Structure 1
Amino acid sequence: MLNRLISYLSGKQNETAAVMLYRQIVAQARQPAFYGRHGVPDSLDGRFDMIVLHSFLVMRRLRRSGTEAAKELSQQLFDLQFADMDNSLREIGVGDLGVSKRVKVMAQAFFGRVEAYEAGLNAEDDHVLAEALTRNLYGTSQPPAAGLAAVATYMRMTDQRLAQQPDDSILAGNVDFLPPPA
């Protein structure tokens, strides 16, 4: 699925970096510990939300860079993510008319989560972030208290780790995520 998206890209340096970043985001979002140990629902929604969470963290880091190259890379990453979502919906059998509606809902969900996670990370304590994670990442399931706390701490620490990574590295498509919380 991802390889088809790669072929649609024209080969510009930032587009290659976007593919590299997206692969790392998806790999991190698929870490079994998030689903098993920390109670994130192992469902289409839960997996979507883990990708959104990690995409948000990378895009937040790119935005902090303030450069035009970072802004372009962030947009390419967003476009690639939603092209992947479109392809995934088609692969599971959603019809052409349903795909555009669902992708629109997913994009709206993405922007809502970005706003909620931004507020949560900007808050002084984890209460706002925990509420955002409960509402979005855990959805209709009841998050285990330890899992929720671990994911909130993971988000804060990963945000700090990404902030310490050099712009050149991230613009080249390399991020260094923390391992999932133990």
Structure 2
Amino acid sequence: MGLLGLFARKPHERAGFELYGAAVAAARQPRFFAELGVPDTLDGRFDLVSLHVALLIRRLRRDPDPAGPKLAQAVFDAMFADMDVNLREMGVGDLVVGKRVKRMWEAFHGRAAAYESAVDAGDAPALAEALARNIWRGEAPPPGAAGQLARHALAVAEALVPQPMAALKRGQAVFA
């Protein structure tokens, strides 16, 4: 590999960052915080982003196009590159950033598995339970909030399915 090969972008890197940005934008809807009482904290925002990214990755991994799983990995990589940058910008020391990102990575995987299982089963109550446990972190969510968020997540999962891989490869995703 030549010197220029060290600086080459990965094939799906740009699309991964664009898709991640779309998931972040979907997760930042003010109604989640104002109407559903999602805590407007670092943890609350992380959990909403994790939900939307998990749904997007689920969609990409299931696509018959061989680029699907690679694009899913690019979205995941973009998310954790962003988490690393954000922690550094918040003043977290270099020696601690890696450990914090690893904990976030583990939390994401646990949440994604719980959400995927419930979405695959079309089980809104199980999804609402997982969301309540993770997003409100042991606090009781406002009445009906977890159910509304679960219905939103199921609608997003359904809306992502028919989106063409060609658009996703260009970094374009529409969240319900």
TM-score normalised by the chain length of structure 1: 0.88
Partner Cα separation in structure 2 for residue 58 and residue 42 of structure 1: 22
Q: For each residue in 1:83-122, what CA deviation from the matched residue of structure 2 results, as whole angstroms up to 9, or x when unmatched?
A: 1101111111111111111111000001000110011112
Pair 1:65 & 2:63 matched:
yes
Following superposition, the deviation at residue 126 of structure 1 comes to 1.6
State which of 151, 154, 157 in structure 2 corresponds to 1:153.
151
CA change 1:146–1:163 in 2 (3 A) is same
Q: For each residue in 1:123-168, what CA deviation from the matched residue of structure 2 results, as whole angstroms up to 9, or x when unmatched?
A: 3432211111011122133211322111110111110110121121
Partner Cα separation in structure 1 for residue 173 and residue 138 of structure 2: 31
Backbone CA RMSD of aligned residues: 1.5
Match of 1:5 in 2: none
TM-score normalised by the chain length of structure 2: 0.90
Aligned ranges for residues 104-115 of structure 1 at < 5 Å? Answer: 104-115=102-113
State which of 92, 95, 98 in structure 2 corresponds to 1:97.
95
Unpaired runs of 5+ in structure 2? 1-6
Question: Which entry has the higher C-alpha Rg, 1 or 2?
Answer: 2
Equivalent pairs, count: 170
State which of 32, 36, 52 in structure 2 corresponds to 1:54.
52
Partner Cα separation in structure 1 for residue 134 and residue 128 of structure 2: 10
Amino acid at match of 1:74: A
Q: For each residue in 1:31-66, what CA deviation from the matched residue of structure 2 results, as whole angstroms up to 9, or x when unmatched?
A: 111111111111000000111001001101101103
Identity level (%): 46
Match of 1:122 in 2: 120
Amino acid at match of 1:136: N
Give runs of ≥4 in structure 1 deviating > 3 Å: 9-13
Partner Cα separation in structure 1 for residue 143 and residue 64 of structure 2: 36
Q: Kindly indicate whether the alpha-carbon contact (under 8 Å) linking 1:41 and 1:141 is maintained by their aligned counterparts in 2.
A: no
Q: For each residue in 1:5-45, what CA deviation from the matched residue of structure 2 results, as whole angstroms up to 9, or x when unmatched?
A: xxxx8455522211211111111111111111111111000
Give the secondary-structure state (helix, strand or coil) at the position aligned to 2:12: helix
Match of 2:138 in 1: 140
Amino acid at match of 1:51: V
Pair 1:76 & 2:77 matched:
no
Match of 1:174 in 2: 172
Unpaired runs of 5+ in structure 1? 1-8
CA change 1:12–1:101 in 2 (3 A) is closer
Pair 1:85 & 2:101 matched:
no
After TM superposition, the structure 1 stretch with the greater mean CA deviation from structure 2, 10-19 or 147-156, is 10-19
Q: Kindly indicate whether the alpha-carbon contact (under 8 Å) linking 1:134 and 1:143 is maintained by their aligned counterparts in 2.
A: yes
